[in-house]
Amino acid sequence: MTEVDGPVERLGYPQEPEDASSSVQTARHMRGSSVVFAGRLLAVVFGLVSEVLLVRYLSKGQYGSFAYALSVLSLGTSISVLGLDKAAARFIPIYQEQHDRARALGTIVLAALSMVVVGTAVAVIVAVLQADDATALTRDAQAAGLLLILIALAPIRALGALQVSLLAVFSRPGAIFVRRYLLDPGSQLLAVAILVVTGRDVQFVALGYLIAGVAMLVVYSLILVRLLSRIGILADGIRLRLPVRSLFSYSLPLLSTDLVFVLRGAIIVIALEALHSTVEVASYRASLPIARQNMIVVEALTILFIPVASRLFARQHHAALNDLYWQTAIWITILTFPLFAASFAFSDLVATTLYGIEYASSGSVLAILAVGFYVNAALGFNGLVLRVYARVRYLVIADLITAAVGLSAGFVLIREFGALGAALATAGILLLQNLLYHVGVARFTPVRWFEPRYLPVYLLVTAMIAGLLVVQVVLRPPFLVAIAFSGTVWVFMILRLRTLMRLSEVFPEVRRVPILGRLL
């Protein structure tokens, strides 16, 4: 089979073989992703505990300084990755389908070397700027000191992203569980816990993050070397072939996507610090991790989605890919609902319960961010499908439009409204980018813009969130009661929509469970 890097015609897709059942492909993906999802839930617990401990232990100014340094690190990491983790997740499965182990190995080597070179350059540039002028990147002395420690993680985190992509390509959900969702957040929680117990300063946490990142990089590099040897990619006699043109002509233009990602995170925070203060940064940044939990299911399913979709693309199984897209979209919409309900309908309650009355203003920030992240999640992997079908030009245009509108509107909103303006800018960026991506999917790929049979999912979600808003306004329930309301509504939704979710196909073993099997 010949690799296809150019445009795919909108009409005339070949029919997939009958033995390549759409539902079977989707069920396999969902089962594999369930392991990753379980890990993501564990990571959420670790991350949320870490965040609450930091916010409550540090002063608002100290927490803002730490959040600022992490945001600059996020920007440096995005630059260091160069989009090569996602490029590797697309090209390596295609090369495997072609039995081209030389190019598969070359993709790994080229991506890793590029990340090391660029990531090291980013860290050195930041260090030099700070050495020449202590206020070059921030007016906050504490944030500057933290930044000098954390920026060393830029190449390390970039290589970590590549490791996770490779584990997904070679179908190792268990290893992803341990690497990304157990050790990474677990080590950060350990550093924060030691900080609180021993009374150390915030620089201790930064050093803990750095040491943990180096340790995990070394351990999982050794694991991947053994894995590549076992599956034959590192076998003797394989001649290394570096697909420089294919890889970089695909990944470099798509840096625009990473630019938009950084825009809605790091650049927003940097602008807040420049136009206001680290206190405003704290108000915004404290809400962001909670709102981002609306992406928890997306992040769990993303890791395995790209390799699966790339294999279906290489086999020309377009109907199966359409089925995979919409099934993952409704699973994301339904499974994310309780998080959306808590962070939107009960946002004030969540902010003050977790962080204290000092963060009462973060409730409105949280509600706005939650809408942006949830809608972005509920429409599915439109951006990833465009990547799989190599619609690079359209992606770049959509990203540049989003970046231009987001930057211009963002600075105005931040200057006028501070943290609330930052939330409006972030939500607007998410919604605009997602809308443009969805138009592209409908226009340039065989994935349909909407599947009418899934309309009940979105109608029920709208009705239930409206009902919970009424509950909040009328009853003003305490925190635990509000969470119970959200959970009850969620269970009701799953029972109502179980047929559309194909629960019995994805997890046939539940049929044997008494009572639960009959319900689902």
Residue 127 lies in a domain: yes
**Which has the minimum average pLDDT: 46-55, 323-332, 364-373?**
46-55
198-235: burial string, b at 16+ Cβ within 10 Å, e else: eeeebebbbebbbebbeebbeebeebbeebbeeeebbe
**pLDDT per residue as tens digits for the range 99-119:** 888 888 899 999 999 999 999
Q: What is the mean pLDDT of the chain?
A: 82
Residue 9 lies in a domain: no
Q: Give the count of domains, the chain.
A: 1
Domain boundaries, position 508: 22-519
Residue 5 lies in a domain: no
Residue 13 lies in a domain: no
**pLDDT per residue as tens digits for the range 451-470:** 999 999 999 999 999 999 99
Which residue, among 359, 340, 365, has the nearest Cα to 288 in the 3D structure?
Answer: 365
Task: Kindly indicate the confidence band of residue 4, based on its pLDDT and cuts at 50, 70 and 90.
Answer: very low
Q: Which has more confidence, 271 or 331?
A: 331
**Which has the minimum average pLDDT: 234-248, 321-335, 346-360?**
234-248
Hey, how many other C-beta atoms are within 10 angstroms of the C-beta on 16?
Answer: 18
pTM of the model: 0.66
Residue 54 lies in a domain: yes
Which residue, among 137, 129, 134, 161, has the nearest Cα to 69 in the 3D structure?
Answer: 137
Residues 460, 462, 463: CA angle, nearest 5 degrees: 65
**Which residues lie closer than 8 Å to 306 by C-beta, 6 or more apart?**
86, 89, 90, 165, 168, 384, 387, 388
Residue 14 lies in a domain: no
Residue 392 lies in a domain: yes
Residue 1 lies in a domain: no
**pLDDT per residue as tens digits for the range 125-168:** 988 887 766 666 777 788 888 888 999 999 999 999 898 888 87
Residue 272: the pLDDT is 84
